[in-house]
Structure formats: structure tokens, C-alpha cells
Amino acid sequence: MDVRESISNQTDVALSLTKHVALTEAKDSNLVFSPSSIHVLLSLISAGSKGPTLDQLLSFLKSKSDDQLNTFASELVAVVFADGSPSGGPRLSVANGVWIDKSLSLKNTFKQVVDNVYKAASNQVDFQTKVKTLSWYTTVIHEGLKFT
């Protein structure tokens, strides 16, 4: 699948989500949400899924494989989140992350996708006690993510 087809599919998914949210959650109120962020999140989840869950995600996201979603996400991250401020353009910061209980671990192949494709943070935390995430998000918001 080429980039144009991926963009077209993402647009279809975004419009479907927007229609659903507008007719239900935002029917009598104002609501702001990001269909692109939801698409990226579901694509990331699909990268760690298999079986019927993966099949349902791929169907919803109109994709043939999680590799296809990962390729599109990698291109999207590289273009959309590129720092355009030196040339007078925008600089976007996004706080994507995977949080897993410290008693578990991520498969190495999934961690590589999280780190390299989605440029997301992966953190092991103790969900049994209070998680202190505010300082991490504050740092991301004020300093931005550092991509290598």
C-alpha cells in the first residue's frame, strides 16, 4: 500500500470516528479530540497484538497488516513531528508512551517498534502503588521529546 492509499484510509477512519463522536458524545456539547492520535494509538496497539484482536484492529484501521501500519506511522512521525521552527514552521510535541507493570516486560520486537517506529517512551511502573506520571508529562510538554 502506498502513502496516498494509507492517507486515504486514515482519513476514512478519522471521518468515521468524528461522525460517531459528533452524533454521540458531542451531540449537545463541545468536544475536541484527535482522530490522528487515536489512529496512532490503535496502530501501536496492533503492533503488539495477534489473532482476532489484530484482525479487528486491521479491519477497523483499513489496513492489510501491522507492518503496513508501522510503515505509515513511521513516515507520519518523521514528517508531521519534524521540527519546522528553524524555517518559521510549527514544532509539535506529542507524548506517546507505553506503560507496563514492573512485574512484566515487553517483547524485544515490540519495544523496538515502540522506540523506533512510534518514537514513544516505554516505562515500567508499579501499578500497585501510586504512579507519579505528572512530572514526566510536564517535562515532555515543556521540553518536548528528544528524538535521536
Q: What DSSP character marks residue 104? A: S
Position of cell 517512551?
Answer: 121
Mapped onto helix, strand or coil, the DSSP state of residue 123 is: strand
Q: Higher-confidence residue: 66 or 128?
A: 66
pLDDT grade for 74, boundaries at 50, 70 and 90: confident
Q: For the residues 34-58, what does the mean pLDDT come to?
A: 90
**CA–CA separation, 46 and 11 (whole Å):** 18
Domains in the chain (CATH in brackets) are 3-145 (3.30.497.10)
CB 60 within 8 A of CB 13: yes
Element (H, E) at 137: helix 134-143
pTM exceeds 0.75 for this model: no
Q: Higher-confidence residue: 140 or 96?
A: 96
pLDDT at 147 over 50: no
Position 33 scores a pLDDT of: 80
Q: For the residues 49-74, what does the mean pLDDT come to?
A: 92
Mean pLDDT of the chain: 81
